């Protein structure tokens, strides 16, 4: 399975949650497959999906899922200790680990080589870290939501991309409809 | 009330409830005051761009954020300031120690000091400079302005300002 197949699998689960989606193809794929006002699409700023998601989770009560990539977590490793030490039980970090910088043409990352993001997350103090195969992602994700415990999921999948259009929505529109949804769901 | 406590009191009076920090020697007092303030969730970050991500999230989750950092951090946050904070039009008060100015003992700090205002200017970031004791009286108005216009706003605080207390 490749990332777009995982996103297709989990899209029905994501609908009911607040989602922060990583820059590049992950956002473009989710936008194409099931665009929701409750998704904050990152149009830039590689690395900060987990930080933005943790911020949203700490500020309100609804479950927040940050969809991240292995390359992006590698570029913002500092996020893992911050997550570990600021427990938000409404926060799930879903790292789709395809072992490559998929959005820029699948150049290999160190996560696809010797480095285990699962081991790094545990070493940083994250308490519920689950590594799973691509096929298991939706059941593991649903389990994490039900557990109401802050969880880091590392979903291992193959490299590879489908052709998707870029997102042309205005960033302020993306942000405004996301915030409106945050208010509505917390009401 | 110390100047640090006054700064934090202005934060609270302006509804700021979420503050991220990366330390600077000059900011030790204000970071302590943030940590002691029960109305503020203090979340230290490991790098300032990470901190700005946290602040963007907190803002969208309904809490007013602020970041406290050193001016050297301008060098590591340009991309985040323009592609996240400015692109999505989010407010972010940035209380910044302006190292490398008069009374600076460490030569290396001057290297970023000479670029600080030029970079902020290039980024179209409204910038205020607290140089003398008493300049902090404008903080309340600066915070109101920040949340009115939804922009990152820089408040540079130099050694002469802090040394005056
Ligand atoms: C600072 C910076 N460097 C490089 C890029 C280019 N870039 C955009 S997405 C991306 C790959 C991200 O890889 P990963 O997080 O693993 O996600 P994937 O696309 O594989 O799902 C890169 C390198 C960027 N946007 N910003
Ligand atoms: Mg990847």
Q: What is the ipTM of this complex?
A: 0.98
pLDDT value of position A83? 98
Is B162 inside any structural domain?
no
Q: How confident is the model at residue B50 (pLDDT cuts 50, 70, 90)?
A: very high
Number of domains observed in the structure of chain B: 1
Q: Do A59 and B79 touch (CB under 8 A)?
A: no
pLDDT band at B165 (very low <50, low <70, confident <90, very high): confident
Q: Which domains are delineated in chain A?
A: 3-186 (3.40.50.970)
For ligand 2, the distance from its centroid to the CA atom of residue B33, given in whole angstroms, is: 40
CA B84 vs CA A46, A133, A175, B87, B88: distances in Å: 10, 32, 10, 5, 6
- pLDDT tens for chain A, 187 residues long, are 999 999 999 999 999 999 999 999 999 999 999 999 999 999 999 999 999 999 999 999 999 999 999 999 999 999 999 999 999 999 999 999 999 999 999 999 999 999 999 999 999 999 999 999 999 999 999 999 999 999 999 999 999 999 999 999 999 999 999 999 999 999 9
Residue B31 pLDDT: 98
As a whole number, mean pLDDT of residues B115-125 equals 98
Residue B34 lies inside a defined structural domain of this protein: yes
The minimum CA-CA distance between B4 and chain A, rounded to whole Å, is 25
Q: What global pTM score does this model have?
A: 0.98
Can you tell me the distance from the alpha carbon of B85 to that of B83, in angstroms, rounded to the nearest whole number?
A: 6
Quote the CA–CA distance of B70 and B19 in Å, as a whole number: 15
Mean of the per-residue pLDDT values for chain B?
98
Residue B164: pLDDT over 90: no
CATH of the domain at B88: 3.40.50.970
Order across the sheet with B16-21: list the strands: B41-44, B16-21, B64-70, B92-98, B152-158, B127-130
Q: Is A2 in the pocket of ligand 1 (CB under 6 A)?
A: no
Cβ separation A48–B45 shorter than 8 A: no
Confirm whether B79 is domain-assigned: yes
**Average pLDDT, stretch B126-146?**
98
Average pLDDT estimate for B118-130: 98
User: Would B31 be classed as within a structural domain?
Assistant: yes
Domain that holds residue B93: 3-106+127-157
């Amino acid at each position: 399975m490749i990332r777009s197949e995982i996103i297709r699998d989990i899209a029905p689960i994501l609908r009911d949650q607040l989602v922060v989606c990583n820059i590049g193809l992950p956002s473009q794929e989710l936008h194409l497959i099931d665009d929701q006002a409750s998704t904050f699409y990152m149009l830039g700023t590689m690395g900060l999906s987990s930080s933005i998601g943790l911020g949203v989770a700490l500020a309100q009560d609804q479950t927040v899922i940050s969809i991240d990539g292995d390359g992006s977590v590698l570029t913002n490793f500092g996020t893992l200790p911050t997550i570990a030490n600021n427990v938000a039980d409404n926060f799930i970090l879903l790292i789709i680990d395809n072992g490559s910088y998929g959005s820029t043409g699948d150049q290999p990352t160190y996560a696809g080589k010797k480095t285990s993001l699962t081991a790094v997350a545990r070493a940083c103090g994250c308490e519920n870290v689950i590594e799973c195969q691509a096929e298991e992602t939706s059941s593991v994700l649903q389990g994490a939501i039900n557990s109401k415990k802050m969880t880091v999921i590392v979903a291992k999948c193959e490299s590879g991309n489908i052709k998707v259009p870029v997102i042309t929505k205005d960033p302020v529109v993306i942000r405004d409809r996301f915030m409106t949804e945050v208010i509505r769901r917390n009401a | 009330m110390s100047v640090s406590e006054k700064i934090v009191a202005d934060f609270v009076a302006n509804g700021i409830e979420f503050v991220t920090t990366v330390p600077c020697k000059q900011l030790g007092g204000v970071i302590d005051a943030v940590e002691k303030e029960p109305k503020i969730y203090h979340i230290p970050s490991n790098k300032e761009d990470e901190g700005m991500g946290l602040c963007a999230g907190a803002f969208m989750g309904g809490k007013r954020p602020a970041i406290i950092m050193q001016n050297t951090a301008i060098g590591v946050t340009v991309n985040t300031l323009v592609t996240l904070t400015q692109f999505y039009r989010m407010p972010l008060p940035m209380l910044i120690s302006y190292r490398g100015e008069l009374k600076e003992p460490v030569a290396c700090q001057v290297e970023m000091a000479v670029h600080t205002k030029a970079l902020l200017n290039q980024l179209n970031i409204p910038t205020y400079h607290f140089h003398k004791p008493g300049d902090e009286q404008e903080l309340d108005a600066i915070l109101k302005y920040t949340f009115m216009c939804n922009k990152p706003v820089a408040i540079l605080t130099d050694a002469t300002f802090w040394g005056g207390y």
